[in-house]
Amino acid sequence: MMVQTAPEGEPHFVSTMREHLEFCGRLGRAFGNDRFERLDPFEEVIYVVDNHDRGWDDYDIAPGLDPNTRLPFLMSQTPTADAVKTNKGSPDFNEVHHPYCGLLSSMHTWGLYNRRYGFTQFVVRTRKQISIPVQQSFRPLIDAMLADELDRQQRLKQRVAENPATRNWLPDQHLFQNYKQLTFFDTLSLYFHLYHASERGDEVYIHVPMTAQTDTAVTVKKLSDRTYSLDPFPFASDTLKLNCRGRYVMPLAADFDGEKLGAALAAVPSDQQTYELVPAR
């Protein structure tokens, strides 16, 4: 789950991974202008953007309670055994739709543990590094999962290559253009999902692809709690208005039964936060 920071004594804005994906999808559909190429192949890439975390579906129905915060586990703090299931489940889900979707989703999972292939400098809240840290006791479990993902990628590349209609999606420059687009949408979403407006500062997104051959750095600056400038601006419209669904949650009492967390969250009224992205002036 996405758990936003909050000023002391105020509720935290909590979003499911499906709600995070909705936000990512809006970014993906708006991406592209005379400087930034649109997603291509659009239908397959936007499907992955919309679904790259679908392995979390079951977990978000019955999430774990973080004993330190008395809130749902932030996705970066999710117990390792659960995180392995979710991170494997996402490419499983996407592969059913199309092998290219499964390939990109698998790259996303592998990248989470491997500095996102070096294409971002965004560090998720509560971490000190880009990659998901792994305790030594869990290293064999993680290594086995990542080896399986590399095997999956080779298998799916072969399937994509066998189809004359899709084989030209595979050259590394084009494939990683799509991966970098996905990474940009995901990490830009995290900027909003994980931090209260009072804690958002400047953020630089490196390796945002303009073309398959050319990347640039996009700088995000807070203009107000709801308005943020991007330089250069990678979206088609002059401004991009976005909303993120979630619910406001206070830390739960020390004696709250963590087994009931899913039901308790489902009973909280849905709310939303709204933002406007604009070009830098």
Model pLDDT for residues 117-156, shown as the tens digit of each residue = 999 999 998 888 999 999 999 999 999 999 999 999 999 9
Neighbouring residues of 168: CB distance < 8 A, sequence distance ≥ 6: 174
| Number of domains the chain is built from | 1
214 assigned to some structural domain: no
Instruction: Concatenate the DSSP letters of all residues of the chain into one string.
Output: -EE----TTSPEEEE-HHHHHHHHHHHHHHB--SSSPPPSSHHHHHHHHHHTTGGGHHHHHSPPBPTTTSSBPPGGGS-HHHHHHHHHHHHHHHHHH-HHHHHHHHHHHHHHTTGGGGT-----TT-SSSSPP--GGGHHHHHHHHHHHHHHHHHHHHHHHHSTTTGGG-SHHHHHHHHHHHHHHHHHHHHHHHS-GGG---EEEEEEESSSS-EEEEEEEESSSSEEEEES--BSSSSEEEEEEEEEEPPPPTT--GGGHHHHHHTSPPEEEEEEEEE--
Residues comprising the chain, all counted: 281
Domain carrying residue 260: 2-201+235-276
246 assigned to some structural domain: yes
pLDDT at 128: 86
pLDDT at 148: 98
pLDDT at 168: 97
210 assigned to some structural domain: no
pLDDT at 214: 98
What pTM value is reported for the model?
A: 0.97
C-alpha angle with apex 83: 82 to 86, nearest 5 degrees?
90
Q: Which residues of the chain have pLDDT under 50?
A: none
Cβ count near 196 (within 10 Å): 15
226 assigned to some structural domain: no
211 assigned to some structural domain: no
228 assigned to some structural domain: no
* Cβ proximity of 99 and 160 under 8 Å: yes
95 assigned to some structural domain: yes
224 assigned to some structural domain: no
